[in-house]
Amino acid sequence: MNRHTTTKWTAWRTLLIDLRLGFSASARWYVLTALFALCSIELAVAGSDFFGIEKASLTWADHLALFVGGCEPYVFRQGLIFVPPAGWLLGLLLPAYMTLGYPYRDLMGFGQHALIRTSRASWWLSKCAWIVLTVIAFWAIVVAAATVITVLDGVPFSLRLTQGAFATVSGLANVPPGGIGSLPFFAGVLGMSVALCLAQMTLAFIVRPSVAFGCMAALLVVSAHTMHPALLGNYLMLARLGDAVPGGVSPLVGLGVAAVLAPASVVGGLFFFRRTDLVAKELFA
């Protein structure tokens, strides 16, 4: 009897395996994330010149927030087409893709063997934990990229969001001279990002990954078009931050929605996953 059959297959062990396999599968995407984040923030900072904003007036929080700058809501006028902010869209679809592939590949390969020795609940919860950690790692890389640009530009490490960052993405913003605190906004972005990725995985098991990814992309495009609290992409955009933009959304409400959506996705997904025939179904599209 070999070592593996005698080892107790716990939820903890499943998670450790997921961390090892999942992170090694996504390693190249973390490198791409770092490059993209550097590029995106630097382009946004360069773009602020166009609005007459001094590079030196931006803070570390501004640099980080510009990664999720977004755009003003679309105001209808005949002949004026709506152009979604491609950089913002790509920045949010990257973690969506990174958390989409591994659970399915695992289920079609190693996971089927693991499921013989562990419960479905353990497998599912382990994947959810892996998704949370992957999204946190993604944002940690973006934070590192913002820090690198802050050091290179020699601007202060302040947690205040200034008018400069808002003016780059929205002409509607009105920020007090001392700036506004950034922590609620960043907490809202992280929370909503995690919740959307969990919701996407649940949806992926119901309607397949490619369609779930398409739904996520559609949600983000619609959110970029319309400023409304029910469109969750608004909580992921600096240009829609209610503290500075009239009619914008509150990051605390976003955190609340994420706090409901994330557990609902985990429980709903588990409910569906426990009743799915994993052998007879083609789950890999």
Partner 1 sequence: MNGILAHELTKTFRNRWLSVALAIGCILAIVAAAEAITTVDALYRSMSADGEHYGLDATTFLGLSTASSYGNWMAVNANAPLSSTVFFYLAPLLTAIPFSWSYQQERDSYLAHVLLRRTRTQAYGAKAAASFLVGGTVVALPLVLNFIIVSCFLPAYMPQYNECNYTGMFYDSYFSWFFYNAPLMFVALFTLLDFCLAGCWAVLCLAISTLFRNNRVATLIVPYLGLLAWVYLVPNIVFANVQGFSTDLIHCMMATHFSDPPEPLAAAALLVALPAASFVLFLCERRRDVL
Using CB under 8 A as the criterion, which residues of the chain lie in contact with partner 1 when the complex forms? 36, 39-40, 43, 74, 76, 78-84, 86-87, 89-90, 93-94, 97, 100-101, 104-105, 108-109, 209-211, 213-214, 217-218, 221-222, 225-226, 284-285
The CB-of-12 to partner 1 minimum distance in angstroms stands at 27
71: left (phi over 0), alpha (psi -120 to 50) or beta: beta
The CB-of-160 to partner 1 minimum distance in angstroms stands at 27
**Which residues make Cβ contacts (< 8 Å) with residue 78, sequence separation at least 6?**
none
The CB-of-94 to partner 1 minimum distance in angstroms stands at 7
What separation, in Å, do the N-terminal and C-terminal C-alpha atoms of the chain show? 37
Residue with smaller CB distance to partner 1, 19 or 219: 219
Residue with smaller CB distance to partner 1, 1 or 80: 80
Residue with smaller CB distance to partner 1, 221 or 264: 221
Residue with smaller CB distance to partner 1, 73 or 254: 73
The CB-of-225 to partner 1 minimum distance in angstroms stands at 5
CB 145 within 8 A of CB 38: yes
At residue 122, the 3 state secondary structure works out as helix
How many residues are listed for the chain in this entry? 285
Quote the CA–CA distance of 203 and 218 in Å, as a whole number.
Answer: 14
- In this structure, the number of other CB atoms found within 10 A of the CB of residue 86 comes to 9
Residue with smaller CB distance to partner 1, 39 or 260: 39
